[in-house]
Amino acid sequence: MVNIKLMFIKFVVFRGGYCSGIILGNKRRAFLVTRCGKKVQIYYYFPTCIAQNRFFFSISIFFVLCYCRPMRLYYLCMRLSNQYMDNRSLISISDLSKEEILSLLRRAGEFEKNPNQRILAGKVVASLFFEPSTRTRLSFETAVNRLGGRVIGFSDPKSSSQAKGESLKDTIMMVSNYADLIVMRHYLEGAARYASELTPVPIINAGDGSNQHPTQTMLDLYTIYQTQGTLDGLTITMVGDLKYGRTVHSLLEAMHHFSPRFKFVACNELRMPEQYKEYCRQWGIDYEETTEFSEGIINQTDILYMTRVQRERFSDLMEYERVKNIYTLTASMLTGCKPNMRVLHPLPRVTEIAQDVDDTPQAYYFQQAKNGLYARQALICRALDL
């Protein structure tokens, strides 16, 4: 009857008082609705302490049943779920279930066939880029424009009130008065999660420091799906900077639904962190680690995911000079590969893929960047429930 699948409801009696009501919320926020219909935002830790106190728990159910008329409760639930609870923000790729990922991929496929649809007409999307970016910002703004929406925002924090010392909270609160959706990139980790807890307007994370970049992962998934026809049971080789590269980490987490096999190719300084290998073991995912980037490995691979070795990650520049050219892919290395094999790269590319690879049928990184548009269109529609 009531759409409460994303909510939990807890009944509560405040300590030392007789204020009864229900707590509505998801993991991000919680509200207490008292029996007179007053809505109070409560601290996040409250549900945890309530859960431990079973005695009050049972008493409070009694209170609510006594004092709240069922229909009124139903309307309150409906109103709250529409207004606040069903927050469609996308902060981290782990927020998405397997079914949601697959339905987003299908949706992205529809947009690829017909990218110009006026389903965002009358909507305003704020694009807040606290950190410069061209690729992500342009593809988001293109996505909104092609869907018929309008974009407001800034691409340079120097031109915003942040330069005057305004806090992120104030900026977000101000912008949520104007926009239906906020797309944000921030240089601090966790900024997007924080923003999504401040405002009922959905937030799409377009990168928060080195933490998460879920829309990049969605476009990677879409590209894999598009080139292989499936996501299940693929062999994915990741090459380059596996230690700091957030794209490889997010892709690894997203692929755990689809029983993949991984091969990690990196020098010792840039190996896959233990935390992610543990993650693979937990989910029973096969992986293999090597420092050698050989044709033997390429020949077993369905998806070759190349990443840039970033100069700024090295404390020792001699080490960087030594490492940077080891993991370079050339066209001659692709002669014996599987026919379905494709080379992906989140771009920008420097030396890790030689120019002659661009002309091989395996090169797919430019189409991959183009897919960003469709994946982001699908994510915008999900965020706005369209």
Of the candidates 139, 176, 205, 211, which one interacts with other proteins according to CB under 8 A?
211
For the segment 169-208, give every residue that binds other proteins (CB under 8 A).
169, 186-191, 193-194, 208
Build a one-symbol-per-residue string for 9-28: x at contacts with other proteins by CB under 8 A, - elsewhere: ------x-------------
What phi-psi label fits residue 229: left (phi over 0), alpha (psi between -120 and 50 degrees) or beta?
A: left
**Chain position carrying tokens 């990690």:** 264
Q: Is 313 in the site for other proteins (CB under 8 A)?
A: no
Contact segment (CB under 8 A) with other proteins among 48-56, 122-130, 151-159, 378-386 equals 48-56
Q: How far is the CB of 250 from other proteins (least distance, A)?
A: 11
Q: Is 210 in the site for other proteins (CB under 8 A)?
A: yes
For the segment 92-131, give every residue that binds other proteins (CB under 8 A).
92
For the segment 72-91, give every residue that binds other proteins (CB under 8 A).
none
d(CA 368, CA 371) in angstroms, rounded, equals 5
Half-sphere exposure of 67 (CA within 13 A, CB side): 19
List Cα–Cα distances, 69 to 1, 22, 31, 62, in angstroms: 16, 13, 19, 13
Looking at residue 30, its amino acid is: A
Using the CB atoms, write b or e for 214-247: b if 16+ within 10 Å: bbbbbbbbbbbbbbbeebeebbbbbbbbbbebbb
Cα angle vertex 173, ends 171, 176, to 5°? 105
**Residue 212 or residue 223: which is nearer to other proteins going by CB?**
212
**Chain position carrying tokens 């342009």:** 138
Q: Is 163 in the site for other proteins (CB under 8 A)?
A: no
Q: How far is the CB of 167 from other proteins (least distance, A)?
A: 6
**Residue 49 or residue 65: which is nearer to other proteins going by CB?**
49
Q: How far is the CB of 316 from other proteins (least distance, A)?
A: 22
Q: How far is the CB of 186 from other proteins (least distance, A)?
A: 8
**Residue 99 or residue 274: which is nearer to other proteins going by CB?**
274
Sheet holding 39-41, edge to edge: 8-13, 20-25, 30-34, 39-41
# of chain residues touching other proteins (CB under 8 A)? 26
Counted residue by residue, the chain has a size of 386
**Residue 195 or residue 236: which is nearer to other proteins going by CB?**
195
Three-class DSSP category at 161: helix
Q: What is the DSSP letter of 30?
A: E
Of the candidates 17, 18, 36, 48, which one interacts with other proteins according to CB under 8 A?
48
Judged by the rule CB under 8 A, the positions of this chain that interact with other proteins are: 15, 43-45, 48-49, 52-53, 92, 167-169, 186-191, 193-194, 208-212, 275
